[in-house]
Structure 1
Amino acid sequence: MSPLLIYLVFGSPTYHAEARFSIASAIVRARQTPSLKLSIRVYTDDPNPYAGLPVELVDFSLARRESLTAPTHYVFRAKHAILLEALQEVSTAVLIDTDTFFRESPLQLFERVMPGQLLCNALGPLYGEIREQPLYQLLAGTLQSKGLADDGMRMTNSGVIGLTQADGAVLQHALQLMDEYYAESEQAYTLEEFSLAVSARVAGLQLAECTDVIHHYWSRKKLFRAKVQAWNAKHWQEPLSEQAVADTLLVTDVLPRPPTATRLAYRMAIRALPVTCRQFVREVIYGCYPYSNEFDAACASVWWEKALDNALEKGADPAEVLGWLDKNVVGKLLGKRRAEVRKHLMHYCKVNG
């Protein structure tokens, strides 16, 4: 069987939309290396979003989910369980989170999956460098006394997990660690990837990362989701049409910001404003900039919301922030879009209390 790329998708429509674009990006980028015969499997509670995509669908209903997350019902336990299941059928498999898309051909991903090596999305800090975090304070003493971890253990990001069949036991051990330490870790959200790092250390696996091949947008998620949502809205019916393929390449990992010279000009234009409102105005302007890339332009409302959220976190109240839009220099910079920004933020405030 061909190298297997696996997605686990359930719950919110947002996750399905993310997965749909990630899969499309894998297929489009795979065309750059025709030698790769790629198989894609989606474990999901809803098959409908994957119409038009050449994928194998596997049921992941509530009953299936409960069986794979027992006994603790820690939801991310299912990632290791389904990857282990797949490795009983294929020699090489990679599981990838939904909030990802491909920068390069998946061939480069699978070239890094080899016996004795764990492929993860990115290498993290050393265990001893996170002494202030709960996973160290709660578990380090126990794990170190058992010889399972030390301060030199490298942490991993499991947005991507790639293994060969020969190293499947690493997943089994990680599952055991999750079950054993779930309560002791106070139900840590990241216990899954931590357990993988511990298990890989015990097995003596080398670690490889793939940030150059995969963009995992766990940071600045709202901005990248806006790009992905715009692509889905445009290409829901035909995700692999000629235009959809072309547009897939336009959804980039670049944050949508005006050019450097323009940003400096904005800073100069607002320098007379009170310091308290400059960041808000600057971020609103970033959203209003006329980007030539339609998927960057789709991030406008996210910039505006981010600007408001940041101002509120610093102690401003909504009425004060909206009042900043009335300043003359702001009106000149926003032009006709000022009314649009105000309307959107008033609605955002209402919805979010």
Structure 2
Amino acid sequence: MKGFIVYHVHGHDGFYQQARFSILSLVDLLRREGRTDIQILVYADRPKEFAHYPFTQTVFMSRRQVVAWSGPFRYVHRVKLEVLNHAIGAFGLPLLYVDGDTRWLRLPDAPMEVLATPRARGDAGVFYMHACEGALTPEAHGEYYRELTAQMPLLRAHGLDNPARWVMWNAGALGVPVGSEDLFKEALGLLDDLMKTTKATTYIEQALMSSLVSTRFQVEGLGDYIYHYWDTSKEVQAVLRRFFAPLAASGDHERELAAYDGFGWNSEDIAAIRRDVRHRARLVAGKFRRSVSKRWAKALAKTRRGAWAGEG
């Protein structure tokens, strides 16, 4: 087997439909090429939604597990690092993680071969992420550059104290090479320490992973293999609601693959959805819910930081 391609999904139906569509695109490629050497691994709080897909196995995440994996500050992006840490321990390396808001363009044969090749002594090895977003500097991604440099003593202990080597990569994909079994244990500890004081939290996990892997590895992009629609994900969720409406209860991957064949969307579709009043109302409601959630998280973080400050 070449290795595992890993997803994690929990929460509302939109996230599930994104992950199901991404897996359909991967299954379609595997079927067309008559391949059985890549296994799909899905961590989910509703694993039955993926049970009918070939090449796929699931790991159940209870709501309690998701909360625990979000850490002391209830940081949702922390869950991904815990999933990867668990997958490495349970299934081994190499593995390739992708976010649900993706569509496969090609099978990642070359990256999986690179990830599976043991490194020679002194060889930094290759790590894959989705796409380069430029250097982490005071001018570019400055908010996160300042958060990281404010913790330089902590980073120095992990050999990450050279900002000239930091590059911001989109974390919609993470390709982890053999020999990196402890990487996410280290990343989780670093993230928890950063969260004690950081104020800019939205992409701090991405900034941390970017600085960590760009210091330790040669990093390559996966843009030739996946289409990652993070910047239009709300609109694509509306497209996927229509796609899955007649298929929702089918439990028939052959029927879903037939519907997938030739299915797509373009910029005109996205623009039309953005003009739709119901879509705009959903965005406003979602923004309000996220605002309430962020205020709660910040209040919790303040309490946790106070508790830590009072320890010792």
TM-score tier after normalising by the smaller chain length: 0.7 to 0.9
Is 2:146 the partner of 1:137? yes
**One-letter amino acid matched to 1:110:** M
Secondary structure of the residue aligned to 1:128 is coil
Give the whole-Å Cα distance in 2 for the aligned partners of 1:7 and 1:199.
22
Alpha-carbon deviation of 1:67?
A: 2.9
Is 2:235 the partner of 1:223? yes
Is 2:171 the partner of 1:158? yes
Task: Please say if residues 30 and 106 of structure 1, whose CA atoms lie closer than 8 Å, have aligned partners that are also in contact.
Answer: no
* Higher radius of gyration, 1 or 2: 1
- TM-aligned CA distance change 1:85 to 1:76, over 3 Å: same
Q: Extract unaligned runs of 5+ from structure 1.
A: 258-295, 306-344
- TM-aligned CA distance change 1:350 to 1:234, over 3 Å: closer
Map 1:14-33; keep pairs closer than 5 Å.
14-33=14-33
Give the whole-Å Cα distance in 1 for the aligned partners of 2:131 and 2:279.
38
Task: Please say if residues 171 and 199 of structure 1, whose CA atoms lie closer than 8 Å, have aligned partners that are also in contact.
Answer: no
Deviations along 1:156-196, one digit per CA (max 9) or x if unpaired, are: 11111111231132222211210110132215111112111
Secondary structure of the residue aligned to 2:175 is strand
RMSD over aligned Cα, in angstroms? 2.9
Aligned to 1:199: 212
Task: Please say if residues 122 and 210 of structure 1, whose CA atoms lie closer than 8 Å, have aligned partners that are also in contact.
Answer: yes
Aligned to 2:43: 43
Is 2:138 the partner of 1:122? no
Deviations along 1:270-289, one digit per CA (max 9) or x if unpaired, are: xxxxxxxxxxxxxxxxxxxx
Is 2:247 the partner of 1:235? yes
Map 1:239-278; keep pairs closer than 5 Å.
239-241=252-254, 244-252=256-264, 255-257=266-268
Task: Please say if residues 273 and 279 of structure 2, whose CA atoms lie closer than 8 Å, have aligned partners that are also in contact.
Answer: no
**One-letter amino acid matched to 2:30:** A
Task: Please say if residues 138 and 146 of structure 2, whose CA atoms lie closer than 8 Å, have aligned partners that are also in contact.
Answer: no
Is 2:276 the partner of 1:302? no
Give the whole-Å Cα distance in 1 for the aligned partners of 2:242 and 2:194.
41
2:186 to 173, 197, 208: 173
Task: Please say if residues 127 and 217 of structure 2, whose CA atoms lie closer than 8 Å, have aligned partners that are also in contact.
Answer: yes
Q: Extract unaligned runs of 5+ from structure 2.
A: 120-124, 286-312
Is 2:197 the partner of 1:188? no
**One-letter amino acid matched to 1:142:** Q
- TM-aligned CA distance change 1:222 to 1:64, over 3 Å: closer
Alpha-carbon deviation of 1:139?
A: 2.5
Task: Please say if residues 136 and 142 of structure 2, whose CA atoms lie closer than 8 Å, have aligned partners that are also in contact.
Answer: no
**One-letter amino acid matched to 1:128:** T
Q: Name the TM-score, length of structure 2 as normaliser.
A: 0.76
Task: Please say if residues 128 and 152 of structure 1, whose CA atoms lie closer than 8 Å, have aligned partners that are also in contact.
Answer: no
Task: Please say if residues 115 and 175 of structure 2, whose CA atoms lie closer than 8 Å, have aligned partners that are also in contact.
Answer: yes
Deviations along 1:94-115, one digit per CA (max 9) or x if unpaired, are: 1111111111124355245345
- TM-aligned CA distance change 1:109 to 1:29, over 3 Å: farther
Give the whole-Å Cα distance in 1 for the aligned partners of 2:283 and 2:238.
18
Give the whole-Å Cα distance in 1 for the aligned partners of 2:141 and 2:235.
30
Secondary structure of the residue aligned to 1:211 is coil
Q: Name the TM-score, length of structure 1 as normaliser.
A: 0.68
Secondary structure of the residue aligned to 1:31 is helix
Residue range with higher mean Cα deviation, 89-98 or 165-174: 165-174
- TM-aligned CA distance change 1:212 to 1:176, over 3 Å: same
Alpha-carbon deviation of 1:36?
A: 4.8
Give the whole-Å Cα distance in 2 for the aligned partners of 1:18 and 1:302.
17
**One-letter amino acid matched to 1:244:** E
Is 2:100 the partner of 1:98? yes
**One-letter amino acid matched to 1:205:** F
- TM-aligned CA distance change 1:234 to 1:83, over 3 Å: same
Give the whole-Å Cα distance in 2 for the aligned partners of 1:31 and 1:47.
22
